[in-house]
Structures are given as structure tokens and as C-alpha cells.
Amino acid sequence: MPLNKAMVRVISRDEQHLVRQASDIPDHAVLSIVRGTPLSSEMQRIAKRVMHLFEVSSETENVQMLKDHKVDYIFSFYPDVLFAYEELGMAELPYDEAYSPLTMRDTLICHPGHERLFKAINKKLEEFARNGVLKQMLGDLNMFAEPQLPGNQ
């Protein structure tokens, strides 16, 4: 999986019910999703035709709903769901790696456990901006403001 991609996966309890395309989800299915997860047009169509779509407060609750047979499938963000598996002390549940109803650019910033890493990255970016390395590396793609040196304002 690309480092800067977040993908919604359709996760099932077992291999026999893998979702390889939207039409694999039956109309009588019950799904859950973490409240606030963006819905692609494909996900919206699925939500409109299935029996019910529960909104839950976390990926942990999402996985627990599937584990407890309260839902048939879950829409879950990868890699976020990996933290839920770890918290619940369980192995990953199956999904079709070739199917994602939503793929979007993502960063690690939404995970508080990476705060120390981002401070280190930001410190290095500031250093690269000051010494010109960032401008040299990015060329015309440089979006970072040049540091204001005395006399260059």
C-alpha cells in the first residue's frame, strides 16, 4: 500500500463473503462505518440500498460490531483499522485487496501516536528551508515559504 494513501476496505467476517465489487453486498446486508468517514459516490449508493448502515464512534467499535455479528460488513479505513485489531488483540479480518470503494491521500498526522515523528520531520523541513535544500529538491513544486532573513523583506 502506498505510504500516503488511505483506503476504505469492505471487511467481512470470513473469506466466503469477500466483497470484490459493490454488487457483492446484498440489499439485505447491515453495515457499519466510523462516523465522519467520507463517503464516495459508490459508498453512498451502497448505503442507500442496504438494509441499514450504522455509524460508530471508532474503528475499534466498528470491528467489534462485525466480530459480534451485529453487522455483515464494515467500511473501514486502512491503515487505521490495524490499531483496532491491536487494541482488541485479534488477527485481521478478511477483505479483497483489489477492491476499495474509496482511496484518498492521507498523512499520519491524524494519529496522535506519531506526534514525536512529526516534530522531528518539521524540524528537518525547517532546516532544509533555511539552507535552500528544500527549494533545490522541490524546484517549481516548492510550496514552502522562504525564510525571511534580515534585509530580505
58/127 same-domain check: no
Q: Cβ contacts of residue 102 below 8 Å, gap of 6+? A: 7, 8, 38, 39, 40, 42, 43
What CATH number has the domain bearing residue 45?
3.40.190.10
Q: Can you tell me the distance from the alpha carbon of 88 to that of 86, in angstroms, rounded to the nearest whole number? A: 5
Q: Can you tell me the distance from the alpha carbon of 120 to that of 71, in angstroms, rounded to the nearest whole number? A: 41
Looking at the structure of the chain, the number of domains it has is 2
25/40 same-domain check: yes
Q: Can you tell me the distance from the alpha carbon of 55 to that of 35, in angstroms, rounded to the nearest whole number? A: 5
Higher pLDDT, 35 or 150: 35
User: Is residue 59 in a domain?
Assistant: yes
Residue 119: give the domain boundaries: 112-141
Mean pLDDT of the region 39-68:
96
User: Is residue 63 in a domain?
Assistant: yes
Mean pLDDT of the region 108-137:
77
Higher pLDDT, 3 or 47: 47
Q: Can you tell me the distance from the alpha carbon of 119 to that of 61, in angstroms, rounded to the nearest whole number? A: 30
Is 15's pLDDT higher than 70? Answer: yes
User: Is residue 150 in a domain?
Assistant: no
Q: Can you tell me the distance from the alpha carbon of 103 to that of 82, in angstroms, rounded to the nearest whole number? A: 17
